[in-house]
Chain A
Amino acid sequence: MLLTPNAMGRRLRFGLYATTGLIALFLLLPIVFIVLLSFGSSQWLVFPPPGWTLKWYGQFFSNAEWMDAALASLKVAVLTTFCAVALGLPTAFALVRGRFPGREMLYGLFTLPMIVPLVIIAVAVYALFLKLGWTGTLFSFVVSHVIVALPFTIISIINSLKLFDQSIEDAAVICGASRLQAVFKVTFPAIRPGMIAGALFAFLVSWDEVVLSVMMASPNLQTLPVKMWTTLRQDLTPVIAVASTLLIGLSVLVMVIAAALRRRNEVSA
């Protein structure tokens, strides 16, 4: 009935499809709009633009501040990804395989940074680093990003580790592998989708992180979102549209990679 399109009744179905189409347009509107604006020639973001140009892209790529920010973003995101996976992997193993009391509670503890409002984490970590004099360092960026990226990697790895039948690892051991060899040669390849998903999440979280970064930033070290943030508060120059478009492009790329990985898993499964 209401879940089988053919039996739904034409009027209801048409109404639902039309509503959905409008909402989908609403979802797409700002994304498409910003990409178009980045190619528009109007300094004042007039739409539709009087002409098309690549000059904002030129400005973006020739501006040292924007380029430094992009590079810093990349550096922070890559480091964050590594640290989050390195910390998340043993944690996920312990939470899935361990047989100790309070695992549920510990799981909740590790996902807490996802629940506590970012602003509060930012302020708390900022206070600590202010006291230690570490604000504005690469270290402070990476540490603060790892805090919020960690739950994502832990959850992704746990999800794929739960699906992995541990007796396969035992089989490798009976074939003569040491436990560590078995984990590296059998278990890790099997849970690779979860590890990659966790890494992608960590990368995106760090890449897009604003609140923590704004707190950690100093004039000589800022990530792309920080640069966008500070620029935005002054004016709405189309160069921000360029930065936005590049960020959107990266998100699409990561989504495509994730989808491709998922498809490959479905085929091999």
Chain B
Amino acid sequence: MSAVIKDTAQARTLVSLRNLNKHYGDFAAVDNISLDIQDGEFLTFLGSSGSGKSTTLSMLAGFETPSSGEILVGGQSLVNVPPHKRDIGMVFQRYSLFPHLSVRDNIAFPLAIRKRSAAERDKQVDAMLKLVQLEKFAHRRPAQLSGGQQQRVAIARALVYEPRILLMDEPLGALDKKLREDLQDELRQLHRRLGITIVYVTHDQEEAMRLSQRIAIFSHGRIVGLGTGFDLYQNPPNAFVASFLGNSNFLRVQAHGNGAASFEGQPVAMRLTSGVGDGQEVLLMVRPEKALALSREQAVRGALPAGWNEVTAKVGEVLFLGESQTCSVVTAGGTQMTVKALSAAGMSMKPGDEVKVRWAVADACVYTEWQESDLSKAAGAH
């Protein structure tokens, strides 16, 4: 974790958002956001609809004016610069190509605006057509292209004038899954090749993980988590991020001094966490794939290793999902948990069986503060 911070701190900050706010009447669409975007990084704004990610992007592009706060690019304020003078590239959700222009003229549009010479224009458009592999379609109208091809045109149009920053607002949302994954790979390679700074907006966490170097998780107009996909998933900074990203088991435990607690009367160990008071209720989060479910015989055979916890529960349902299997269990106190394992490992229990659920102390995150709404999956939206 600390290594990552050091890494990014060495890179140059290109864009700074400082205490950015956007209010519509009483409603705060963006609530006091501060964020540094590094030069050349691929950063994703991840959140459900209405979480403020698109509004923030719009303010970066200049389509929305911040109610207060600063947007700095290379140290200079952008707030009063109109969109057409920002020199930012953008790819829109529904491509937004110019329907009256051919593919070629769409891509050439920004260059024509910038009054580049015809020779230079042709050269750059050709290069772009080659980059997005649309040479054969140069003379078609956008309406004659498939969704994926239109998206490539949109990317070419946004890149042709070599902007420092490329904004992408859910650009793959309208495409089907297979195509989306192909374009995600292309996009990642493109970023690596061009070294451009990309700010990408999506509500698809898998997409965010696949593409980005860093992810900013938005909820109710704030950034509630910022870091690499790995860090955010393995060590979510708070219960909301934990439940938002992937699946999670939450256990309410009673702390007894530091490192010790009880869960439904059974003693459990937990990570050393600062600020945990004696008798305070804290929350443990265990990823389903980090937990193990053992039948009674298995539990007897393999004794509990040091640094692991074990609780007793009853199997509710076992699901076969192809690659993996899940087993949902309920503890005596009524806490629901899910355990996930690769199918190859096998899960022999049946509904109604008593099982022991085990997890390593180091794998369980500890939260001292949370809200009930953070724990439900659907909580991100308004």
Contact = CB atoms under 8 A, between A and B. Distances in A.
Direct touch of chains A and B (CB < 8 A): yes
9 contacts: A1-B63, A1-B83, A4-B63, A6-B64, A6-B65, A7-B63, A7-B64, A7-B83, A9-B82
B167 to A, nearest CB: 15
Nearest to A6: B64
Contacts of B65: 6
B72 to A, nearest CB: 21
Contacts of A7: 63-64, 83
Nearest to B58: A7
Nearest to A9: B82
A9 B80 CA distance: 11
A4 B63 CA distance: 9
Contacts of A9: 82
B56 to A, nearest CB: 16
Nearest to B84: A1
Contacts of A1: 63, 83
Contacts of B64: 6-7
A151 B83 CA distance: 49
A7 B63 CA distance: 6
Interface string B62-105: 01110000000000000000110000000000000000000000
A265 to B, nearest CB: 29
Nearest to A7: B63
Interface in A80-123: none
Interface in B47-64: 63-64
A227 to B, nearest CB: 51
Contacts of B63: 1, 4, 7
Contacts of A6: 64-65
A7 B64 CA distance: 7
A6 to B, nearest CB: 7
Nearest to B82: A9
Interface string A1-13: 1001011010000
Interface in B366-380: none
Contacts of B83: 1, 7
- Report the 8 A-B pairs with minimum CB-CB distance, sorted nearest first: A7-B63, A9-B82, A6-B64, A4-B63, A7-B64, A1-B83, A7-B83, A1-B63
B99 to A, nearest CB: 14
Interface in A1-52: 1, 4, 6-7, 9
A4 B62 CA distance: 13
Given A1-B63, A6-B65, 5 more contacts: A1-B83, A4-B63, A6-B64, A7-B64, A7-B83
A4 B82 CA distance: 14
Nearest to A4: B63
A9 B82 CA distance: 9
Nearest to B63: A7
A252 B65 CA distance: 42
Nearest to B61: A7
Nearest to B62: A7
A6 B83 CA distance: 13
A251 B63 CA distance: 42
A13 B234 CA distance: 50
A6 B63 CA distance: 8
A7 B83 CA distance: 9
Nearest to B65: A6
A9 B85 CA distance: 14
A1 B83 CA distance: 9
A7 to B, nearest CB: 5
A1 B90 CA distance: 14
Interface in B95-117: none
A11 to B, nearest CB: 12
B97 to A, nearest CB: 15
A7 B84 CA distance: 12
